[in-house]
């Protein structure tokens, strides 16, 4: 499959990031299941059903994403057209209802990835799954694959991370400057609202004043994400949750697509061949923005990302 090339009428990483929000199609009707997590909490998983022997793709969403994110909707349509099944797990608190436990989710949540994949693997009668993640979900998935090494092949045919923030410190600090602060404020609006609701349920869980005062992701992660999930602070969280150090340990076919004009991730911090195992394919196109990948004539469509995933799992994981 040809590498991604942005249309001439949509120049620049910012425009390529934002345009999909204007052209995303209406979501398909999916079947929702509520699963009980190992700690008694719950997650909601949306399913595009199909024959039990059809290929099964699991797609992990990004920060504050859901099955209604544009990349999830476009992937659902592509899977429907190809006759594939699709599972869209929601990280805790992202399906429209606050989760039961104090914890939420984070960029290095490989333990959450693991039990979800194991449950889907069992439901698939022991056949390996195709596993992909977008942005935060891609980072967590690639980290999981690196941690599991050769045992990852027991559950998946391969893994794909699309626009994963592989170096969280580089991404977090980059989002605190210039126009990127627009994205930061968008994330903080929903993160703070959910965190405030969590604090009402669990008083004293973290410092409410610091949470409300946070003006960037570093301050929010230092005040909320880190203490909720057992990290010493934002620096500790960003270091330990980044997937980049684990890329050398991946022992299943893997794809990492990171446009060099992604406003979330400075190109100077992208991994090179020396940073990854021989099974990791790096694609770093000049265009695409952050999970943009708009293609074809005006106003464009969002087919490239799901088609890249299907092609990878059909032809590049054997």
Provide the annotated active-site residues: 135, 262, 290
Q: Which of 69, 57, 237 is nearest to 165 (CA)?
A: 237
| Helices (H), ranges, 202-253 | 208-213, 217-220, 226-228, 234-241
For tokens 């893997």, the residue is 254
Sign of the four-CA dihedral 163, 165, 166, 171? positive
Cα Rg, the chain, nearest whole Å:
18
Q: How far apart are CA 162 and CA 57, in angstroms?
A: 14
225 and 91 in contact (C-beta within 8 Å)? no
**178 φψ region: left (φ > 0), alpha (ψ -120 to 50), beta (else):** left
Query: Three-state secondary structure along 35-86?
Result: EECCCCCEEEEEEECCCCCCCEEEEECCCCCCCCCHHHHHHHHHHHHHCCEE
107 and 140 in contact (C-beta within 8 Å)? yes
289 and 263 in contact (C-beta within 8 Å)? yes
Angle at 313 between CA 117 and CA 32, to 5 degrees: 40
């Amino acid at each position: 499959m040809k590498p991604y090339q942005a249309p001439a009428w949509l120049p620049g990483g910012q425009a390529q990031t934002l345009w999909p929000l204007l052209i995303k199609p209406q979501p398909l009707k999916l079947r929702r299941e509520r699963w009980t997590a190992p700690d008694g909490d719950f997650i909601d998983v949306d399913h595009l059903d199909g024959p039990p022997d059809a290929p099964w793709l699991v797609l992990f969403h990004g920060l504050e994403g859901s099955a209604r994110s544009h990349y999830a909707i476009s992937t659902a349509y592509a899977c429907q057209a190809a006759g594939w099944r699709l599972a869209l797990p929601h990280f805790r608190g992202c399906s429209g209802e606050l989760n039961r436990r104090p914890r939420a989710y984070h960029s290095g949540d490989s333990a959450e990835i693991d039990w979800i994949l194991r449950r889907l693997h069992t439901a698939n009668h022991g056949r390996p799954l195709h596993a992909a993640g977008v942005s935060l979900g891609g980072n967590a998935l690639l980290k999981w694959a690196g941690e599991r090494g050769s045992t990852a092949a027991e559950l998946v045919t391969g893994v794909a991370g699309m626009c994963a923030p592989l170096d969280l410190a580089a991404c977090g600090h980059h989002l605190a400057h210039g126009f990127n602060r627009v994205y930061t404020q968008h994330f903080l609006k929903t993160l703070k609202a959910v965190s405030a609701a969590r604090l009402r349920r669990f008083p004293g869980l973290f410092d409410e004043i610091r949470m409300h005062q946070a003006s960037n992701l570093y301050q929010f992660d230092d005040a909320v994400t880190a203490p909720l999930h057992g990290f010493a602070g934002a620096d500790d969280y960003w270091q330990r949750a980044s997937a980049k150090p684990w890329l050398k340990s991946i022992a299943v076919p893997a794809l990492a697509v990171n446009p060099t004009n992604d406003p979330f991730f400075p190109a100077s911090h992208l991994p090179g061949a020396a940073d990854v195992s021989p099974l990791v394919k790096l694609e770093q196109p000049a265009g695409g923005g952050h999970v943009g990948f708009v293609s074809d004539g005006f106003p464009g469509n969002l087919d490239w990302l799901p088609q890249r995933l299907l092609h990878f799992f059909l032809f590049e994981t054997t």
